[in-house]
Structure 1
Amino acid sequence: MSSGGGCSSCGTLSFNTLLSYLPDELSEQVPHELAHMLEMNHSRRFRGSLNITFLTISALYL
């Protein structure tokens, strides 16, 4: 896998292990792929899902 991660049409998430070495603020690939579990494209609905995913993850760590 040359990218940071991916989400299959079956909902399987995969991530490049090198993401674990990045600072938290640079590892945005994780919420991006989690949002793909709700929307399998990059539409306006996906961006809304991405915003919700970021807010949820942020709330968990505050």
Structure 2
Amino acid sequence: MDEKEGSGLNVLSSRLKKLENLYLRGNPFNDGIFPSLTGFSSLKCLDLSNNILTGSASIN
């Protein structure tokens, strides 16, 4: 994920405070997406399948 994609998600998270479902499957996102997702505090469902993710992410 490049800086432009990350800043776009940050803008979305600041405007969509009550978003509960986010489907981002089938994109070229890598592990760099995780910091950009922290602003979606109301998420109940996050689909990141079919991306370029490796390792693990902590869920709080």
Work out whether the TM-score is over 0.5: no
Which gives a bigger RCO, structure 1 or 2 (Cα 8 Å, sep 6+)?
A: 2
Give the TM-score taking structure 2 as reference length. 0.29
With structure 1 as the length reference, what TM-score do the two structures score?
0.29
Q: Name the structure where helix makes up a greater proportion of residues.
A: 1
